Structures are given as structure tokens and as C-alpha cells.
Amino acid sequence: MSKTTTVKKPTLFLALLPILTMIVLLFGGYVFFELPPEPLIIISAIVAGAIAIYLGHSYNDILDSVSQKIAKTMPAILILITVGFMIGAWMVGGTIPMMIYYGLKIVSPQYLLITAFLVTSIVAICTGTSWGSAGTIGVAFMGVAAGMDANLAAVAGAVVAGAYFGDKLSPLSDTTNIAALATGVNLYEHIGHLLYTTLPSFIVSGIVFLVVGLNTNSAGGDLPEKVGIIMDTLGTIFNWNILLIIPVLIVLIGSIWRKPTIPVMLLSSIVAMVNGLIFQGFSLKSVVASVVNGFNVSMIQVSNFDAATVIADIPTLLNRGGMNSMMGTLLICFCAITFAGTISVTNSIELIINKLLKFVKSTGSLIVTTIATGLTMIGVTSNGQISILIPGEMLRETYIKRGLHPKNLGRTIEDSASIIEPILPWTAAGAYMAGTLGVATLEYLPWAVLCWTGIIFATIWGYTGFGIAKLSKEEQEKMMAETHTSEMPLQSIAK
């Protein structure tokens, strides 16, 4: 005889308990005891699973839910791995080093603040890393600022703003890829939509840095010494050639023509690998090692170059990429997806969202609610990746139901989480930037204009409707159908 199990609906307390558990564990364990976040998220998933079983769901129900969510996000996960592959290829082929070299060369160092902002932005876009950009070029500009007796807080703010501008718009950035993954939006479509808030913030920041710089006489006419050393070293290591820009053009053209992301990235990577063999003189073994484990300066076999004696900025800038570099990011993604899949079994998120949305009457108030959610997550968890994944999972279906494209959600959680992180003193990013640049977080916060103006523009656009992408009836029905393919709420979709 078969036994029928009665499935009960969760109370608001039971629905909130797994989320509160995760917040407490991450805030206590990750922030205060520096424990890795992955096991803390898994413990939260265990709590969610125990509640699901208490409410009458089976263990197989939980496994099915998690499996379906992983299956839905697998294309985006593959993109993350491909990004690591491409970064390694672009490094060994000389594409990223060449863009850094000419980015440093063409921007006049006469205006220190605006130069630090623009150059750091260029480096961050090319490398996809805010930390690496601030830790190399940013440190160089801080040294120049100290020598000129300039406003160190202002220069640090310019570096942080530039680093996160580039990171936010780079297809090589892990947080940008995660935001696209969480909201089920094509990577390049997500980046294009970010411009509505990021470009105005960039312009406002540039104006501030230019005006302040011109009125404080903090600019110098000579090239910063450490930046000059970096340029000379890059010129020694790599052979510049106009063909090195082809991998970038492939990605740009593929984006404009809306071609599938992974094949475009792989084609770009293959061309870059060929460049590494032909123009840079790397061996096949080094080229393959670069796309798997990342580029390393120890691979360089050039006269007048000794990896052991080169300044620390060079390996910090160049040692990156490779598929293995994405494994840590993927582990956090899998843990967060496991948590989301487990909590979805009980429809807890749907219950919480319904309670929350009672106060949401317009698109503007939905944007503000999303901003509040992002700020709360980054403020409590201190982890940019988690702060993108969880709101993306919680609010995606709400946007679709209201006829709003999920890329509005992706843009807003980036505005309220990933670029807010470096201006909060207790986060890993805030601590890193303060320690690396030698300026306290709260001192450079007012100058990191781009990091806090994004939420202002996001709010204005939300209430005015400018830059808010709407769904057609057909698109809305298609997305809702895909979301409920497994008859479970809030499935992540990766295009």
C-alpha cells in the first residue's frame, strides 16, 4: 500500500529561517572569524532541507529541485569556465598586455586624478579584475600622489572608482558573469544594460576628478615612475602587433551580432593562442598551460627578463586566467544554487516575495526594494558573489510577472551590491582596497563617486521609466513558461 504524505505550507517564520540562518552564519563566521563561505551556505541549505522534510517533502524532492536549478544554470556556468580560458589565452597572446601598455601610454599624466581614474578603468576592463587593477596601476598612482603631496584619499577614490567601473563592464569579470547567470540574461545584453546607470556615474566621476584636479594643482607632467617601469617591462616581454587586437574584435562583433557567447569566446581564445605561438614565441606547452592553469611570468623566456627580479607589480598584473581560476567562483555558485534549490521546494521564496511586494506599487518602488535587498545582503554577508546570486534568485520571477526584463534586476543588484562592496570598511573588498592603497575606506568613500551614484541613477530611472526594459506579452509568457517548466518557482535561466 502506498502512503500519501501531506505537504504543509510554511509559515513566514519557517520561510525566513533558512535565509536568516545564512545571514547570521555569513555575518558571524565569514566576517568575524574569516571562515570560508561555502560550508556556511551548505549548513543553511541543510536547515532549509530539514524544514522541507518537516513540511512533508521528500529527500528526492530536494535533490530534484537542486538538480533542475543546476541544469538551468549550466550554460552560464560553462561561460564562466570559458571566461577563464579566454583570459589565459588573451594573456599568453599579448592582447591584454598590449591594451594595458597603450592605455597607459595614450592618457596624459598631467592630470593625476582623472588619469588615475581613466587608466585604472582601462586596465580593469582589459583584465576583468578590480583587485588586480588597484593592486598594480592603482598602487603606482598612490606612489606618485605621495611624492606630489597630493590628496591621497582623492587619488584612492579615483583608483577604486576606475577599478570597479572596468570590472563591472568587463566580460572577463566574475561578478558580471554571475549577475548574468543569476538573472538568466545574456552576458553582453547584461553589460549593455549596465551602461544606463554606469555611464552617467562614470561621467559624473570624471567631471569631479577633472575639476578637483585642475583646482588643486595635483597634476604632474612626468610619467609616473612605476608606471613607466611597468610599460618598459611589458615592452620587453611582448611583441606588439596590430593583429593582437583581433581577439577583442571577435568578441565585440560577436556581441553586436548577438552570436552565441561560448563559441565566440572560444574562437577569440583560439586566435589569441595562435598569436601566443607566432608573435610571442611561447611554446605549445606554455600556451596550453596558460588557458588551463593561467598565465605565469615564469613561462617567459626572453633575454633581459628575469621573473625572479622583476618588480612585484608585473606578476600581480599578468599572473591570471585559466579555467582553474574559476573553480573557486564556481564552488560558491554551486553552493548558492544548492541553497536556492532546497529552499524552493517549500515555496518559501514565493511567500517572502509576496509579503514584501505588498509594499511595492510601482516600478520605481520595485527598484528601490531591489536596491535595499542588495545593500542588506552586501552589508550583512560581505560577499559580492552571494549578494548577487540570492537577490537574483529571489526577485527574478517578480520582474517577469510585472512585465519587466530581468536585465533590469541584474543591473540593479550590481549597482547595489558589487560596486558598493569596496566602500564598506568591513567587507573583504573594502579591507583590501584600504590595505593596498594605504587609505582608510571611509576616507576614500566620498571620492569613489562611481560606487555610490549608481543607486541614485537606478532610483531615478526606476521612477521615470528611462532605461527600464519592458517585456512584450510573448516574451513574458515564454519566460514564465521556462521558469515553471518543472512546476517550481524562480528557476534560474541562462541563455
Encode pLDDT of 398-424 as tens digits: 899 999 999 999 999 999 988 998 998
State the pLDDT at residue 264.
87
420: helix, strand or coil: coil
Q: Please give the single-letter amino acid code of residue 267.
A: L
Least-confidence region, from 73-77, 161-165, 261-265, 340-344: 73-77
- 148-152: average pLDDT: 74
Q: How confident is the model at residue 390 (pLDDT cuts 50, 70, 90)?
A: confident
Question: Do residues 342 and 4 touch, judged by C-beta distance below 8 A?
Answer: no
What's the rounded mean pLDDT across residues 258-266? 84
Give the pLDDT confidence score for residue 123 in this predicted structure: 84
pTM of structure: 0.73
Residue 253, all three cell numbers: 562583433
How sure is the predictor about 492, in pLDDT bands with cuts at 50, 70 and 90? very low
Q: How confident is the model at residue 111 (pLDDT cuts 50, 70, 90)?
A: confident
- Supply the pLDDT for residue 3: 45
Instruction: Give yes or no for residue 82 having a pLDDT over 70.
Output: yes
Write down the pLDDT at residue 487. Answer: 39
Q: What is the mean pLDDT of residues 424-452?
A: 86
pLDDT of residue 455: 95
pLDDT-wise least confident of 251-265, 354-368, 451-465: 251-265
User: What's the rounded Cα separation, in Å, for the pair 491 and 14?
Assistant: 21
Confidence band for 491, pLDDT divided at 50, 70 and 90:
very low
The confidence score (pLDDT) of residue 238 equals: 94
Stretch 246-268: mean pLDDT: 84
> 490 Cβ partners below 8 Å, 6+ apart?
340, 344, 349, 350, 393, 394, 396, 397, 483
Spatial distance between the Cα atoms of 411 and 392, rounded to a whole number of angstroms: 10
pLDDT above 90: percentage of residues in the chain: 38
The grid coordinates listed for 335 are: 553552493
Mean pLDDT of the chain: 85
Do 384 and 432 form a contact (C-beta atoms < 8 A)? no
Which of the residue ranges 70-84, 191-205, 305-319 has the most confident prediction, judged by mean pLDDT?
191-205
- What band does 495 get if pLDDT is binned at 50, 70 and 90? very low
Of 343, 332, 337, 336, give the one whose Cα is nearest residue 61: 343
Instruction: State the pLDDT at residue 308.
Output: 84
> Over 80: is that where the pLDDT of 258 sits?
no
Q: What is residue 26's DSSP assignment?
A: I
pLDDT band of 143, cuts 50, 70, 90: low
Q: What is the mean pLDDT of residues 20-27?
A: 85
Give the separation between CA 354 and CA 337, rounded to whole angstroms: 21
Compute the distance between CA of residue 210 and CA of residue 221 in angstroms, rounded to an integer. 15
Dist. CA 163–CA 161, nearest whole Å: 6
Q: For residue 470, what are the β-bridge partners? A: 404
pLDDT of residue 149: 63
Q: Which of 136, 211, 126, 223 is nearest to 165 (CA)?
A: 126
Q: What pLDDT is attached to residue 319? A: 86
Tell me how far apart the alpha carbons of residues 324 and 330 are, in angstroms, rounded to a whole number: 10
User: Cα dist. 92→243, 267, 284, 292, 423 in Å?
Assistant: 14, 15, 11, 12, 33
* 7 and 62 Cβ atoms separated by less than 8 Å: no
For cell 542588506, name the residue. Answer: 376
Q: How confident is the model at residue 282 (pLDDT cuts 50, 70, 90)?
A: very high
Picking from 258, 320, 317, the residue whose alpha carbon sits closest to that of residue 122 is 317
The arithmetic mean of pLDDT across residues 444-472, rounded, is 94
- Over residues 358-371, the mean pLDDT reads 89
Neighbour-count burial of 38, counting CB atoms closer than 10 A to its CB (0-12 exposed, 13-18 middle, 19+ buried):
middle
Averaged pLDDT for residues 114-133: 86
For 212-247, write each residue's pLDDT tens digit.
Answer: 988 875 444 455 677 788 888 999 999 999 999 999
